[in-house]
Structure 1
Amino acid sequence: MNLESDVRDLWQRYDDGDVDAESATGDELDTLDAFLDALEAGEVRAAEKTGSDVTSWEANEWVKRGILLNFGLRETLAREYGDVRYHDVLPLRDTEDLGDRGTRNTPDGTAIRRGAYLGSDCIMMSPSFVNVGAHVGDGTLVDSCDTVGSCAQIGANVKLGANTLIGGVLEPVEDAPVVVEDGAALGAGCRVTSGFVVGENSIVGENTLLTPRIPVYDLVDEEIYYGHLPANRRAFTRFVESSLGDHDLFAGGAYKPAVVALDIEDDTLDATRREEALRE
């Protein structure tokens, strides 16, 4: 049997109640260890792109179930990270392989959980955290105070500005996680959540919130998108009029956040044209 079939079989027995953390055998825990090793080697991923479009990312359900099995079939143990004593079902990832590939994790606060992949020539600045199932591509910078959530897929040569949050999507298993494609750059304080996809080579202004609930006004395609930012865009937050309009409790109407997206090489749209496009 291969790793996928082993994980699927173990999940079925766990889901049926035939195995739990108290009854898990050494062979079953060995399967989980082999699965985490495959994640760390980049041999399996929680999501993959099935086409050329930014919306073509799909979750690998069996991989996400494998991660969930590590929580369901392992006991919480006391562990140590430097001088810090903590309790978890998973230890932090061994980092001995990173140096051979030119990847750096600076001291005093970089934490990589077991089951996370970091490519070659990456930089993790302290303090920062990469969670189980995350995949960070070659040459990517994870800056200070950044969090890369469980199963997030970060491409190659991505720049995550300081204090950026990349959300995790572990459940439901059929939902694709947050994706930041190759060459994208996110300014300080950005947040990307709930399976949002940032297209390749896009530049996102600082403190921008990207989530499927907030519309992206794409002035290149002249479309409103939800859940993704197309490739090769410059994006930033603006506020548009809310459907609440005027209300007795406050004067001047109500506004809600939106994201404006321009062609990455287009500097011709002035502020007036942007506001007109949003109002339309």
Structure 2
Amino acid sequence: MTNLQAEITELWHQYEDGVTASDAETEAYATLEAFLDALEAGEIRAAEKRDGEWHANEWVKRGILLNFGLRDIQTHSYGNVEYHDVLSLRETDDLPERGTRNTPDGTVIRRGAYVGGDAILMSPAFVNIGAHVGDGTLVDSCDTVGSCAQIGANVKLGANTLIGGVLEPVESAPVVIEDDVSIGAGCRITSGFVVGEGCIVGENTLLTPRIPVYDLVDEQIIYGSLPPERRVFTRFVESSVGEHELFDGGAYKPAVVATDIEATTLEGTEREAALRE
């Protein structure tokens, strides 16, 4: 990918110097197409884990931004519907040979998204450009996987779950869900939050760096990530304005409680595994 990285970097410098979509040459569009193909093949990723920490690949995120900045809006078709965008949707004819299925009537995978083998995408669901969905992962109905979000292998995203994306700034790592995580229905995970391997997240939990995680296993308060092998759920703690006269009975703010996963029942995930088999 050295040549592709160099070409994207050169295009980025031209874009910063004022090159517009109308000024872009055929060679530039060929580079952008090759870049999107590499994303879809999993050859490049918007973020990777190095030395135990997730880091953004800035040049990849710049390549995604160039696909918006150097393309004109065009009319495309999706079934019987016309839509207007700078990008088409991803071709899905490669999915069956890898055991991956996407149900009809609203499963949308945008150009430049990677989807692994033996995965399931239920309609209506949306996977944005730069997202990476691992092998054996379930993206359930009404889920959104944001731009550049990194979803690991054997992950279950419960229905109506929002996985936020972080495209800008390019140096910021996106939301990461590591392998073997189960996300309950109605959860929202945003702003570069990292969910560690093997976690179970209870329904309707909000995970964002601005909300503290009370880790009862290591007895510490952390922000922006969950350690591996935790079961988490939302609780409410007293707010700093709890004594204000306007609040009858006190004011509270959300917090996340993390416990030892082995101390909880795994019946739900066991049933899910049995269904997949």
Q: TM-score, normalised by structure 2?
A: 0.94
SS at match of 1:265: helix
Compute the displacement of 1:166 (Å).
Answer: 0.2
User: What does 1:101-120 correspond to in 2, within 5 Å?
Assistant: 101-120=98-117
**How big is each residue's C-alpha offset from its partner over 1:118-140, in whole Å with a ceiling of 9 and x where there is no partner?**
00000000000000000000000
Q: Which residue of 1 aligns with 2:17?
A: 16
* 1:68 matched to 2:55: no
Q: What's the CA shift for 1:210?
A: 0.2
Indicate the residue corresponding to 1:125 in structure 2: 122
2:81 to 77, 84, 89: 84
AA of the residue aligned to 2:40: E
Tell me what 1:176 maps to.
Answer: 173
Matched, 1:37 2:37: yes
Other structure's SS at 1:126 match: coil
Q: 1:263, 1:241 → 2: CA distance?
A: 24
Question: Which residue of the partner structure matches residue 269 of structure 2?
Answer: none
Matched, 1:207 2:208: no
Inter-partner Cα distance in structure 1 for 2:102 and 2:8: 31
Question: Could you tell me how far 1:247 is from its partner in structure 2?
Answer: 1.2
The one-letter amino acid of 1:97's match is D
Which secondary structure state, in structure 1, belongs to the residue aligned with residue 15 of structure 2? helix
Among 245, 261, 271, the residue aligned to 1:264: 261
Alignment of 1:94-173 (within 5 A): 94-173=91-170
Q: 2:214 aligns with which of 214, 217, 222?
A: 217
AA matched with 1:162: A
Deviation at 1:248, TM superposition (A): 1.9
* Structure 2 counterpart of 1:3: 4
> Per-residue deviation at 1:267?
4.5
Q: Post-superposition shift, 1:170?
A: 0.3
**Unpaired segments of 5 or more residues in structure 1?**
269-280
Q: Residues of 2 paired with 1:251 and 1:206: CA distance?
A: 28
Whole-angstrom distance in 2 between the partners of 1:228 and 1:267: 20
1:51: Cα distance to partner? Answer: 2.1
Cα distance in 2 for partners of 1:25, 1:177 equals 31
After superposition, what is the alpha-carbon deviation per residue over 1:73-114, rounded to whole angstroms, capped at 9, x for unaligned? 000011111111110000000001111100000111100000
TM-score using structure 1 length = 0.93
- SS of the residue corresponding to residue 88 of structure 2 reads coil
Distance 1:202 1:166 in 2: 15
- Measured against aligned partners, the alpha-carbon deviations of 1:160-216 in whole angstroms (never above 9, x if no partner) come to 000000001000000000000000000000000000000000000000000000000
- Runs of 4+ deviating beyond 6 Å: none
Computed over aligned residues only, the root mean square deviation of the Cα atoms, in angstroms, reads 1.0
Q: 2: CA distance between counterparts of 1:15 and 1:119?
A: 34
Residue equivalent to 2:189: 192
Tell me whether 1:26 sits opposite 2:26 in the alignment. Answer: yes
- State the number of aligned residues: 264
Determine if the alignment matches structure 1 residue 249 to structure 2 residue 250. Answer: no
Correspondence for 2:50? 50
Structure 2 residue runs of 5 or longer lacking an equivalent are 266-277
- Alpha-carbon deviations, 1:249-280, whole Å to 9, x = none? 12111100000000100249xxxxxxxxxxxx
Aligned partner of 1:232 among 229, 244, 248: 229
